[in-house]
Structure 1
């Protein structure tokens, strides 16, 4: 087995199902990288990428099975499989890092904005079923802690965590005024404080998220 044979075998093994092409795998890797950067950069919680994550997790499961099966062969002194396993493991580690960081970023936002998300149907729809269950459990634990430590000792009208009296809201929301870096894929125009601003193709800008949030969600600008 020469090096080209090893790489060809890796491609067929790493892709998974026969109907799935190498281009599909590379496209999913590009998408999860883009989704990860976008989620980390913007202040609000973005919709969970359900189909993409299902494909990636299924592919990872198949790669783990491939590693386990061929590790047995390696123990039987078939040393030519070693490089192939290293390649598959490196690919697997890269995808696992992206997925874990993506999920951690989302959970941090869910922890921070849980009351806001829970009270808004559009925000709630952005969560996966597992994220919804996590948010409800986490929020219940916090409520139990707060009630046992101090809220239970306050007058009933001061115990709410979503109080908006006096024009001041206790509900923490995403800061849409936070600046983000974007790169335009074509010439376009945005409105900032009722003033039209021209953006050039391939230009890199720092703008308030509120001015470009629709473009970001539609994938019409790249978040850096």
Structure 2
């Protein structure tokens, strides 16, 4: 079960209980079957239209069904904003005439180590170890970006894929902590690099992340259009 699916499951149950409703009551208020409500609360695959109906039955915005219980909203949270300054700097470094200001290039021979670190970071994300993810990502973004600049030919191709992976993990994390502008930048750049590297399946994975970001922003029509026009593999 993904963290996004778990959030929907828990939030539907939370809002239903807060409203003093049974599963049968929510089904009636939503115009759905009891079996469908049970499936949602069990963490099964749910159509967006079903979530709209459930949100209407609960009397809450659909976006609330995706809201993470942890961490807390970061809008106006100065401590959280400050903690993400290193990540913001790594993701969007100062841009000069000769390009972005980044650390010294890292040899492409370290790409295998970088990929292992990316997988470890993603595992921490899935375990909700968000503080650890936030600490790891700035260095990873700098190293993988520098590797692209330093490498040539096939090594550059592999470095581009590695940097794309890092950006997509960053986009998922930033969506989770509701830093939506940064999340969009990371996901859009990760999708672009994956597409340029010929890794359309990786790009499609990024599109899934972009859809979750759009849902979090109540941009349901755009999410539906994006999902409907993206091929699946």
| Band the TM-score falls in, shorter-chain normalisation | under 0.3
The alignment's TM-score, normalised by the length of structure 2, stands at 0.26
In proportion to residue count, which structure has more helix? 2
Structure ranking higher on relative contact order (CA contacts 8 Å, 6+ apart): 1
The alignment's TM-score, normalised by the length of structure 1, stands at 0.27
